Structure 1
Amino acid sequence: MTIRVLVADDQAVVRDGVVLLLSSADDIEVVGEAGDGGTAVRLASELRPDVALVDLRMPVLDGAEVTARVVSAGIGVRVLILTTYADDDAVLPALRAGAAGYLTKDATSEALLAAVRDVAAGHTVLDPAVQRRLIQLLVNEPTARAAAPLPTLSTELPLAAEGLTRRQIDVVRLVAQGLNNRQVAKEMVVSEATVKTHLNHVLAKLAMDDRAALIAWAWRHGLADRSGGTDG
């Protein structure tokens, strides 16, 4: 099956290079190009590509706004952000808008092609630098972490988390803060094997392949920065 891709970047040189790379793959077809966010939204609606490869900083509409409009349109277009920026001011709005992937422009050609294929297949792709940044947002703020209660389930579940149990959401929130299985087990006062079981069930329920996809999902749906008190 051929993957149909829309490329949106306001820098013509970069856009041309990306189009050339994608066009070299037998299973990828570039069906449209956009030099600004407004054109990107319009072409996504008209062309209905499988993947929209979107830069963050563009005229008219930025990448996060393009993502939000394309995703909310419900037209089946999955957005992969390709940008220079990996800071939280850039990453979080894009993920919360519904981006299925986030890749920085220093990624290799092989990584970009693989990301397009993975996103088209329904997976979530996070650049390693982006995943580290998401974790650092909380890990590198010891004062705030010490003052705040442990992040677990509040009395009302976010709508996006319906289908997960209370304890599974506890696990997701701690994982999204960068804790490993041993640390999660210690915080929840359970065995490491129990944590692994919860994680496996969560990944299966959400149809995700790995921890990176889960962290992105947690940030996108507000589970990574909510706080409350641990309960049994």
Structure 2
Amino acid sequence: MNTTDQAIQEIEDVGYTIIPEIISPSRLIQAQQDAEKLLHTIPAEGLNGTRIDGRMCKGLFAKTREFDDIAANANVTAIVNGVLHPHGRAAYYSPKQGAQLGTAMIKDVQPGEGIRALHRDDNYPIPHPHPPLIVNSLLALDPFNDETGGTWVVPGSHTWSGQVSTTTEHVTVIMEPGSIVLFNGALWHGHGPNYTTDQARRALNLLYNCSWLRPWEGEHLGIPENEWDSLPPAVKAIL
């Protein structure tokens, strides 16, 4: 079984997989620099329940072309398509082959920021469990761990029919910058608090959905029409 098959199987079995060093060190540095230019201040909840300044950048594809290559990364899209369009099931979803990028943003859990409660990304009005509709992903631009507000996941919860509670056991995604976690949109997840005083926890958030579902950000993710023709074929394929 190759790495792609292993990743697909892990997402099927436990709901998520971690791929280390999905991009090179030099590409990581460039991504960090580009992300920093785009992040802006938003209200966030601090560790003690007070408001602090968080950071985020939504509508990424309408603002920059600097992350196109990562969104269309062949290793990532092979895993996504393997989960959403396994052999024999493509016709169940749509005659169109391949997954679609539904939204792209940069997230940053700032020092002193509190938790993000456990939630699902595929809250469509159909019963759980169901065949995968979404594969979400977070590319680490900073270390993910218990101190920095790493992503929380509840292994196996993509197969659950019910809700979770504040006492539901979870694990923290531990990974280094340049690594990526991909997970079934039905998996319960959130993020922990950032206990540090000086370490941001930035991530490139790329969410892929079945091609027949409307993207979260609308057609072509808001990319201006005059830019569309110049996009590489691999990028157009996921839009």
TM-score normalised to structure 2 length: 0.23
Higher helix share: 1
Higher strand share: 2
Report which structure shows greater RCO (CA 8 Å, sep ≥6): 2
